[in-house]
Homo-oligomer: A and B are copies of this chain.
Amino acid sequence: MEFSANQIADLVGGRVEGNPEVKVSNLSKIEEGQPGTLSFLANPQYIPFIYKTNASIVIVNEDFVPEEKLNSTLIKVPDAYQAFARLLEMYNQMQHTRSGIEDQSFVSSSASIGKDCYVGAFTYIGENVKIGDNTKIYPGCFIGDNTQVGKDCLIFSGTKIYADCRIGESVTLHSGVVVGGDGFGFAPNNNSYDKVAQIGNVIIEDHVEVGSNTTIDRATLGSTIIRQGVKLDNLIQIAHNVEIGENTVIAAQTGVAGSTKIGKNCMIGGQVGIIGHLNIGNDVKIAAQSGIGNNIKDGEIVQGSPAFGLREYKKSYVYFRKLAQLAEDIDNLKKQMQSLQQ
C-alpha cells in the first residue's frame, strides 16, 4: 500500500513541508533511506543523515530547522519518535487482519471459536477448546483439548499448546513455542527412573509475549504461571511450577528450573541459569550468563556463576584477569621474605 505525505500527516497530526503528494510504501532508517520510504529524525546525533538520506518523507520534531538543502519532504510533529512508533504500530496491526477458518484446518465439533478469529490451514483445535474474539492462529498450530485462549491473541505458525492450559488476552506466542509439555520429573528407582506424572497446566496471563521456540512446561500439580505483561525472548526454558511475576523481562536462552518464583519487574539477561525452588524478589537485575543458586532479595543486581553483587563481581574479575601477575607477586614476596628471614 502507498500513502502520500498528506495522508501520513493526517494520521499523526503533523504538518507537511515539501511535496504533499509524494508517496511511500515502506519504512526505513534515516541512514539507509531509499526513495519510496518513510523515515524519522529524533536523535540529534542523526541530523547529518537528513541531508544525505533518499527517504521520500522524514518525520521530524517541530523545532527542527534544516541548515542545508533537503531531498525529502518533512512532516513536523511535536514528538517525532512517538509519531513514528505510532505509525509502526498501525503498520503492524495491518499485518494481522485475516479472519475466517481455512478449509484445511481441523476444529473439533466441541470447540468454540470467537468472532473475527483466524484459524490457518493445518492448525488443529482439540476438544472443548475455547478461542476468544479476534484471536489469530496461524497455520500449523496445535491447541490441545480443554485449553482456553483469550481474545486478541496472536499465535504464530507452529506453536503447540498442550491440553488444559489457560492463555489470557492480548498474548503473542511466536513460532515454535511449546506451552504445557511435561515437567522434567523422574523418581529414581534402582538405577533407572520412573516418570512422575505431570498433570498440572500452564497459565499465561494477559499481555504476555513469548519468543520463538521457547518452552514452558506444565506443572506437576497446580500451574506454571506467567503473570501479566511478562516478556520472554526466544529459546527460553521455563520448568514446571515456575511462577514469573508481572512485567518481568527475560532475554534469550535463559533457563529457570522447577518451582522457582521470580518477582515483578525483574530484568534477566540472556543465557542465565536459575536453579529450582528459589525465590527471586521484585526489581531484581541479573547479568547475562549468570548462574543463580540462592534466593535474591528485592532490588539486587547480580552477576557471576554462582552470582553475587554485580559491582563485586566486576571488581573480582578485574583481578582475575591479572591473576598470573598476582601469583608472581606472591612468589616474589615469598622469596624476599625467605632472604629477609635468613
A residues apposed to B, CB below 8 Å:
27-29, 32, 85, 88-89, 91-92, 95, 102, 104, 106, 120-122, 124, 138-140, 142, 144, 156-158, 160, 162-163, 172, 174-176, 178, 181-182, 184, 186-187, 191-199, 207, 209, 211-213, 215, 217, 221-222, 229, 231, 233-235, 237, 239, 246-247, 249, 251-253, 255, 257, 264-265, 270-271, 273, 275, 288-289, 291, 305-306, 308, 312, 315-324, 326-327, 329-330, 333-334, 336-337, 340-341
Is there contact, CB below 8 Å, between A324 and B333? no
A140-B158, A182-B209, A322-B327 are known contacts; what are 5 more A-B pairs with Cβ within 8 Å?
A88-B197, A211-B215, A257-B270, A289-B305, A329-B330
Q: List 13 A-B contacts (CB under 8 A).
A: A28-B222, A92-B197, A95-B163, A102-B106, A104-B104, A124-B157, A139-B142, A156-B160, A158-B160, A184-B231, A288-B291, A289-B291, A326-B330
> Cα distance A160–B138 when bound, in Å?
11
> Cα distance A271–B319 when bound, in Å?
25
Is there contact, CB below 8 Å, between B337 and A337? yes
- Copies, count: 3
> Cα distance A235–B207 when bound, in Å?
25
> Cα distance A312–B340 when bound, in Å?
32
Which residues of B sit under 8 angstroms from A27, Cβ to Cβ?
A: 199, 221
Which residues of B sit under 8 angstroms from A319, Cβ to Cβ?
A: 323-324, 326-327
Which residues of B sit under 8 angstroms from A91, Cβ to Cβ?
A: 197, 199
Selected from B106, B186, B199, B213, the residue in CB contact (under 8 A) with A121 is B106
Given contacts A142-B138, A192-B229, A333-B337, contact A222 B88 (CB under 8 A): no
> Cα distance A89–B194 when bound, in Å?
10
> Cα distance A155–B195 when bound, in Å?
16
Which of A88, A139, A196, A207: most chain B CB closer than 10 A? Answer: A139
The list of the 8 closest CB pairs from A to B, nearest first, reads: A88-B197, A92-B197, A142-B157, A178-B212, A181-B212, A124-B139, A160-B175, A319-B323
Which residues of B sit under 8 angstroms from A318, Cβ to Cβ?
A: 324
Which of A89, A138, A289: most chain B CB closer than 10 A? Answer: A289
Selected from B140, B264, B312, the residue in CB contact (under 8 A) with A122 is B140
> Cα distance A182–B252 when bound, in Å?
13
Which residues of B sit under 8 angstroms from A95, Cβ to Cβ?
A: 163
